[in-house]
């Protein structure tokens, strides 16, 4: 059980602290300083004596380091152990803020495995910690490019007029990974792609894309807008037609041969866990009525990429011949979250020649070209925010519940079918059912 202590309450939120990033070279003196604050307390979660030792250790550290009694407990533990760990901390009197010092808890996703279990977990957590001391971590919200979505939308005049059903045809949110499950079988099997990624990261990206402008960026306003849009979002009416799931098979990825999901170490041969999940979400409000949002995530895709693509409608009238515009697609605005962080605008331009031929071109903003500063790591920023008690980048329980409300009917439907998810070759863009789901609506998935 590793122990970390927080900085003194007076820790300033300086710009120097903010601009540091985890990719700066290793510095021995910084490491040594960090090392002085690290202790290891061994024990399993049922071991009451270990938690008593943890308490003593924290007290010693407080005295040695002058941390003022402030503690943040980071629970990167299996979801089923949350309750036990929290009750052990509570038993030792470590969960309440005392004498002006704070005690906070950071909870890693998944927060429950469906709505009902998330509600139970919430009751357990809130019986021990004050609501403002609970930080549910979704590392996507700490990504610089995700925060830039707010800057793009609300600091500019250019985009807002088209940011609605009058101009946007459909939205595709993709988080593709080239890796398999690696050594995470114990966590991943039984959880799957929808719970692992759609319930949190992708629905948060959807909320930031679709929400109304908050009156300010303080935590309450931001969360209110996200909650409003998540409350208006719903699963598709025809779940069979507008969702897809798959499981990777063996094949080639990144130039080497890789195992299929069922052959990975620790995976049950009959596992029905999906490693590809795609769903359609509709938002029933004035801005988005009739604009489908397609969310997909998968392991073992051809490359690692996360992006939000807003695809625009075709121009209402095109005064060109069929040949002129044969190579013209639709306009698109793509927010590239990672790894090639930036924004792409796709539109048609005339090919230089005497003929009028129009073809798609792209205009790019790349973080790397425009800024010399490199982005802080998402976790670096979020952990600092926990220590500073700054909550805007942490989802509230209401958001977690609303996300489960969208996902639960889909998960129940998949569980009822009780079949193996459709196989897809490692290194491919997913199963046929994923393609068919978009084709039904007349669209195709982008190849980012």
Q: Which residues make up the interface to ligand BG6 (CB under 6 A)? A: 139, 177, 196-197, 306
Q: Is 139 a catalytic residue?
A: no
| Cβ atoms 318, 288 nearer than 8 A | no
For residue 124, what are the contacts with CB-CB under 8 A and spacing of at least 6? 82, 83, 86, 87
**Would you say 187 or 443 has its CB closer to ligand BG6?**
187
Helix (H) or strand (E) holding 330: none
**Would you say 272 or 285 has its CB closer to ligand BG6?**
272
Helix (H) or strand (E) holding 161: none
Cα–Cα distance, 421 to 364 (Å, whole number): 37
Least CB distance from residue 275 to ligand BG6, whole Å? Answer: 10
Least CB distance from residue 159 to ligand BG6, whole Å? Answer: 24
Burial 84-122 (b: 16+ CB within 10 A, else e): ebbbbbbebebbebeeebbbbbbbbbbbbbbbeebeebb
**Would you say 5 or 297 has its CB closer to ligand BG6?**
297
Cβ of 278: how many Cβ atoms within 10 Å?
28
Least CB distance from residue 381 to ligand BG6, whole Å? Answer: 13
**Would you say 204 or 306 has its CB closer to ligand BG6?**
306
Phi (first) and psi of residue 355, to 5 degrees: -80, 160
DSSP symbol at 364? E
**Would you say 58 or 202 has its CB closer to ligand BG6?**
202
Q: Are strands 422-426 and 243-253 parallel, antiparallel or unpaired?
A: parallel
Cis peptide before 197 (omega within 30 of 0): no
Least CB distance from residue 177 to ligand BG6, whole Å? Answer: 5
Q: Which of 192, 139, 119 is nearest to 410 (CA)?
A: 192
| Cβ atoms 239, 410 nearer than 8 A | yes
HSE-CB of 78 using CA atoms within 13 angstroms:
13
Location of structure tokens 């969310």: 295
Least CB distance from residue 273 to ligand BG6, whole Å? Answer: 12
- The catalytically annotated residue of 201, 317, 322, 397 is 201
**Would you say 139 or 165 has its CB closer to ligand BG6?**
139
Least CB distance from residue 196 to ligand BG6, whole Å? Answer: 5
Cis peptide before 441 (omega within 30 of 0): no
SS3 per-residue string spanning 206-250: HHHHHCCCCCCCCHHHHHHHHHHHHHHEECCCCCCCCEEEEEEEE
**Would you say 196 or 399 has its CB closer to ligand BG6?**
196
For residue 355, what are the contacts with CB-CB under 8 A and spacing of at least 6? 324
Cβ of 203: how many Cβ atoms within 10 Å?
29
**Would you say 9 or 184 has its CB closer to ligand BG6?**
184
As beta bridge partners, residue 345 has: 333, 363
What are the strands of the beta sheet with 71-75, ordered from one edge? 71-75, 103-108, 134-137
Least CB distance from residue 143 to ligand BG6, whole Å? Answer: 7
Tell me the residue number closest to ligand BG6, measured at CB.
Answer: 196
The catalytic site residues sit at 201
């Amino acid at each position: 059980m590793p122990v970390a202590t927080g900085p003194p309450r007076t820790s300033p939120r300086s710009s120097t602290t903010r601009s540091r990033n985890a990719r700066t070279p290793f510095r021995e003196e910084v490491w040594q300083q960090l090392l002085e604050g690290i202790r290891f307390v061994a024990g399993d979660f049922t071991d009451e004596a270990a938690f008593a030792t943890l308490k003593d250790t924290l007290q010693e550290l407080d005295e040695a380091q002058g941390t003022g009694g402030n503690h943040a407990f980071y629970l990167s533990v299996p979801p089923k152990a949350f309750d036990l760990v929290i009750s052990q901390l509570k038993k030792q009197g470590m969960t309440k803020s005392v004498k002006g010092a704070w005690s906070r808890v950071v909870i890693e996703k998944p927060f429950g495995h469906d709505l009902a279990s998330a509600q139970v977990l919430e009751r357990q957590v809130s019986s021990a910690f004050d609501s403002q001391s609970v930080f549910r971590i979704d590392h996507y919200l700490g990504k610089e490019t995700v925060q830039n979505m707010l800057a793009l939308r609300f600091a500019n005049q250019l985009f807002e007029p088209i940011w609605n059903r009058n101009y946007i045809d459909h939205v595709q949110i993709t988080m593709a990974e080239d890796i398999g499950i690696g050594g995470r079988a114990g966590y991943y099997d039984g959880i799957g792609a929808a719970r692992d990624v759609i319930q949190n990261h992708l629905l948060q990206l959807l909320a930031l894309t679709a929400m109304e402008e908050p009156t300010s960026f303080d935590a309450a306003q931001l969360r209110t807008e996200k909650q409003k849009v998540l409350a208006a979002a719903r699963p598709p009416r025809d779940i069979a037609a507008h969702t897809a799931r798959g499981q990777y098979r063996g094949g080639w990825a990144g130039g080497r041969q890789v195992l299929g999901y069922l052959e990975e170490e620790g995976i049950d041969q009959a596992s029905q866990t999906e490693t590809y999940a795609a769903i359609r979400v509709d938002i029933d409000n004035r801005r988005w009525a009739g604009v489908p949002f397609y969310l997909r995530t998968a392991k073992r895709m051809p490359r690692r990429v996360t992006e939000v693509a807003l695809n625009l409608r075709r121009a209402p009238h095109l005064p060109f011949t069929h040949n002129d515009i044969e190579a013209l697609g639709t306009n698109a605005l793509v927010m590239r979250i990672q790894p090639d962080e930036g924004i792409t605008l796709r539109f048609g331009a005339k090919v230089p020649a005497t003929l009028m031929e129009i073809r798609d071109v792209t205009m790019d903003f790349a973080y790397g070209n425009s800024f010399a500063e490199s982005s802080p790591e998402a976790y670096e920023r979020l952990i600092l925010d926990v220590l500073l008690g700054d909550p805007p980048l942490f989802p509230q329980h209401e958001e977690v519940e609303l996300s489960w409300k969208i996902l639960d009917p889909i998960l129940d439907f998949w569980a009822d079918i009780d079949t193996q998810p459709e196989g897809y070759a490692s290194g491919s863009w997913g199963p046929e059912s994923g393609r068919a789901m978009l084709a039904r609506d007349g669209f195709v998935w982008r190849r980012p």
